[in-house]
Chains A and B, each alone.
Chain A
Amino acid sequence: MTESSANKPANGQVCHRVKNGVKPGRNGFIKNHHHYHHQQPMYCYPEDKVQHTTCNGSSGLGLYSRPFIESFEETPMLVAVLTYMGYGILTIFGYLRDFLRDWKIERCHVAREREEQRDFVPLYQDFENFYTRNLYMRIRDSWNRPICSVPGAKVDLVERVSPDYNWTFDYTGKVVEGVINMGSYNYLGFAENTGYCADASAEVTMKYGVGVASTRQEMGNLDRHEEMEELVAKFLGVESAMAFGMGFATNSMNIPALTGKGCLILSDELNHASLVLGARLSGSTIRVFKHNNMQSLEKMLRDAIVHGQPRTHRPWKKILILVEGIYSMEGSIVRLPEVIALKKRYRAYLYLDEAHSIGALGPGGRGVVDYFGLDPRDVDVMMGTFTKSFGAAGGYIGGRKELLEYLRSHSHSAVYAASMSPPVVEQIIASMKCIMGEDGTTLGRDRVQQLAENTLYFRRRLTEMGFIIYGNNDSPVVPMMLYMPAKIGAFGREMLKRNIGVVVVGFPATPIIESRARFCISAAHTKDMLDTALSVISEVGDLLQVKYSRHKRLIYDQIQD
């Protein structure tokens, strides 16, 4: 923790430390903090990764037209030690319980082999499920909660109790109504059962039915599908687009069609399971670069081009970079301008997964490409899902016409999967038209603006309260750190007691000590709802003592961009 001159703030302005020790000045960082950093508070913890990247457009070196503010505050040492201690105690008790189950002192609820087959090759890997049996089961009531209404801004939950510590659940028959929903990926509020989109879907169900009973290639290509794909292509600004029934399947079935043996895939450290599965199924060589780290990516690209394939040193057939628009566990936004600059320089291809960012970022709601003001033709494969912002289900891929024609015949998902259901297609068409403004109202634009305002307000208030919040200031996914295993369960339960539904995440979706609660802001949340939620979060935060942030944040004005 030495204070070098690079770390000390210059005449009272913000001190920033460039990630990974590279000297500031590369990659388009311009140290031009004058015009708005005066209002920002001073926080000088050199070990924290707080990034302030600004760009003065006239300088020519700048790739970012707006400030890119991300923060990933480091785990406090005491909290980390106590978290490990907590996991240690749970592990010891887990061993004790496993011993009791093994010796039949306690009844075993997990899947076991039959007595007669005890000496066969084991079917159930007992130790791998140690975590599930002994840690997850104890707080399982925070997950898989059944919902019995539309998951809009408020949702109804089915009440359930467990007589035997979450191994089984009983339904009391009551319904918890009006729970404020901070967990659904409902960014633009299109998950609703009234309104233009719902009426259009209902009409189409009356005309086409619900099932299509075929694949796209055989007899399942409806005119609604064609219209939807044209609309998606127009929305994204690409030549052509194609939709699939499932977002996970879009990634995992199309990446094998794009790359094969002899190709190189450079994938971000924190990519989603669907991207990882697609990359592994393709059979290409996979190299992982550090999360959102452009120096690491550039080094890997250079190594790949200089050294070629591992043993033969032949050049790679193609190099594909896999990134996501918003990483949902971190709330960070990809550094797209730099990735595109690198891709063009080293002649690689870019696959951008906009599952969470489409509809949620950008002035027109067109995703992360719109947010940075870039050209959609620079991204070779633009993938996204309809589940999050459009209130439907499914995924799409957009790109050049030749790519899409190839995918229509070579992708597993296109050839074998059943077509999308007509009401879902109609929901996509209606919501997309609404966002683009083609239905004649300003509803779409209002929602996009409302989401941006809600996001800024919510994040600002949470950081003021003293919680550790990860991610970019503009991302509607807000992860709030909890760290300790008992606080995961306690947070979920206490919030539900106070009528707020949140999603808490632990291992293995996150690193073992970095468990978090993840809030998803929606345009359907009114300011009153957000205020209620914030006061409850503050109350529960005080009760559980999760306000870990060591930065004394002052209340500062928002920077209008």
Chain B
Amino acid sequence: MAFEDVWKKISWLYYQYILVTALYMLEPWERAIFNSILISVAGMAVYTGYVFMPQHIMAILQYFEMVQ
């Protein structure tokens, strides 16, 4: 039952995303192109953050002289 509600909520959120970005008016293959570009860019950003975040955090802490 809870899974139904969650699924409905996610479905509604996806519908809002589709409406706001005007993907609602596009054909399925166009939506696929846009979604894949968006997910790949977002994925790349997350990966970059994961790889470089420790170095950046150490650099900030060293700048503020909190750790040598």
Chain A residues at the B interface, C-beta cutoff of 8 Å: 82, 85-87, 89-90, 93, 96, 135, 138-139, 165, 484-487, 489-490, 543-545
Q: What separation, in Å, do the CA atoms of A86 and B16 have in the docked complex?
A: 12
Chain B positions 4 through 19: 1 when the CB is less than 8 Å from some CB of chain A, otherwise 0: 0000000010011011
Nearest 9 interchain pairs by C-beta: A86-B22, A486-B24, A138-B25, A486-B22, A486-B19, A90-B22, A485-B22, A89-B22, A82-B20
In the complex, which residues of chain B have a beta carbon less than 8 angstroms from the beta carbon of A89? 21-23, 34
> Is B19 within 8 A of A484, CB to CB?
yes
Q: What separation, in Å, do the CA atoms of A87 and B23 have in the docked complex?
A: 10
Q: What separation, in Å, do the CA atoms of A488 and B19 have in the docked complex?
A: 10
Q: What separation, in Å, do the CA atoms of A41 and B34 have in the docked complex?
A: 45
Residues of B contacting A: mostly: helix
> Is A86 within 8 A of B20, CB to CB?
yes
Please give the number of chain B residues whose Cβ is less than 8 angstroms from any Cβ of chain A in the complex: 15
> Is A490 within 8 A of B24, CB to CB?
yes
In the complex, which residues of chain A have a beta carbon less than 8 angstroms from the beta carbon of B18? 486
Q: What separation, in Å, do the CA atoms of A165 and B26 have in the docked complex?
A: 9
5 chain-A/chain-B pairs, Cβ below 8 angstroms: A86-B21, A93-B30, A96-B30, A165-B27, A490-B24
B51 to chain A, nearest CB (A): 30
B25 to chain A, nearest CB (A): 4
Closest to A134 in B: B25
Closest to A88 in B: B22
In the complex, which residues of chain A have a beta carbon less than 8 angstroms from the beta carbon of B26? 90, 93, 138
In the complex, which residues of chain B have a beta carbon less than 8 angstroms from the beta carbon of A86? 20-22
Q: What separation, in Å, do the CA atoms of A135 and B25 have in the docked complex?
A: 8
Point out which of B18, B19, B22 has the most chain A C-beta atoms below 10 A from its C-beta. B22
> Is A489 within 8 A of B20, CB to CB?
no
Q: What separation, in Å, do the CA atoms of A139 and B19 have in the docked complex?
A: 13
> Is A489 within 8 A of B16, CB to CB?
no
In the complex, which residues of chain A have a beta carbon less than 8 angstroms from the beta carbon of B19? 484, 486-487, 490, 544-545
In the complex, which residues of chain A have a beta carbon less than 8 angstroms from the beta carbon of B23? 89, 486
Q: What separation, in Å, do the CA atoms of A250 and B7 have in the docked complex?
A: 57
A489 partner, pick from B25, B27, B30, beta carbons under 8 A = B25
In the complex, which residues of chain A have a beta carbon less than 8 angstroms from the beta carbon of B30? 93, 96
B8 to chain A, nearest CB (A): 12
> Is A489 within 8 A of B24, CB to CB?
yes
